Amino acid sequence: MTFSWRPTATDGAARAGVLHTAHGAVETPVFMPVGTAGTVKAMTADAVRATGAAIVLGNTYHLMLRPGAELVARLGGLHRFMDWPGPILTDSGGFQVMSLGKLRTLNADGVTFRSHLDGAKLRLTPESAVEIQHLLDSTISMVLDECTPFPATHAEAAASMELSMRWAARGRAAFRARDGYGLFGIVQGGVFPDLRARSAASLTATGFDGYAIGGLAVGEGQASMFEVLEATVPLLPAEKPRYLMGVGTPDDLLGAVARGVDMFDCVMPTRAGRTGRAYTSRGVLNMRNARHAEDPGPIDPACGCPACSRHSRAYLHHLFRASEMLGPMLLTWHNLTYYQALMRGMRAAISGGQLAQFTSSARAGWLGDEA
């Protein structure tokens, strides 16, 4: 099984296709639920599958700290460990290490950091990041990069990007190719089109199985993010999948798909589910709001998840007010179901040449019921 992406339809810059991997096929555009530590928070693997998800994301940084990549390997790999036989993409940990701030030290070889769990001193290099993901048996591995912070000057963004490009080449050299497995490079360069172009050229010259766009959704705003995508996506190989990391809201997904992005991940739907916020076809609802206390209707009449098909807004409101753990579980299930339905709708719209109409209809619906 060769790792590959094959287009099935286009609509302007938007693409529908199928990603073929050692652990199954994935229709794109696709949203990947985030299972940072080997679990999508508040969800069983069966529940995640029931939302329509075909691929999930894990994280190198968190899994190397706990329980350890070697242990996961001894127990049969991450697929068996977390009961997910389908594809798994693992982030290299670059973003998490960046967020440690003063607890990390960066140099040309890699990054030294202190564990946020116990303060232990650890080292991550482009080679060790790839090796850890190999031990985890990640279907899609990511190169180690430095996620350029925002704001950054042109000079700061350039230096960060160049370091990430050197690391990407080292990660590519360290990757052990296997049928159906892939390694993605990560385009960096902040909000500067010339740096993004240099980064894309460097990565394509090295050659990867897919290309991610990193360093966005870090404070630059949606308009700037879309401008970066418009400048960057056309520079990436048309025959390879494109992955926008850490994005985002339903509106972000619509805009990025229209600009040619195929893959997404974000903690937003699961984090929102744990804090009482529901994404729906009629807008974002705060289930803690008193207006829902006696409402017998579902969260979203258009949704068939257990939260909507078997429970009322009043019940969900009660669960959150009473701090019952079932509330976050049901609302996370709903949010992930909504995200998967949105992606499924976009795939169908692209196939029918109707993405602009689908996008307009979705955005109009969100104006209907915010509270």
Positions annotated as catalytic residues are: 91, 265
Say which residue the tokens 């946020």 belong to. Answer: 116
CA 220, 235, 344, 50 torsion-angle sign: negative
Q: Which of 186, 230, 245 is nearest to 211 (CA)?
A: 186
Instruction: Output helix, strand, coil percentages for the chain, rounded to the nearest 5.
Output: 45, 20, 35
Instruction: Give 56's strand partners.
Output: 88
Say which residue the tokens 């697929």 belong to. Answer: 79
How many helices (H) and strands (E) the chain has is answered by 15, 16
DSSP state of 367: T
Residues 6+ apart with CB under 8 A from 103: 113, 114, 116
Token pair of 276 as six digits = 């009482």
- Residues 169 and 108: beta-carbon distance below 8 Å: no
Between the two ends of the chain, the Cα-to-Cα distance in Å is 48
Residues 6+ apart with CB under 8 A from 165: 188, 199, 202, 203
| Distance in angstroms (rounded) separating the CA atoms of residues 351 and 18 | 12
- Residues 242 and 14: beta-carbon distance below 8 Å: no
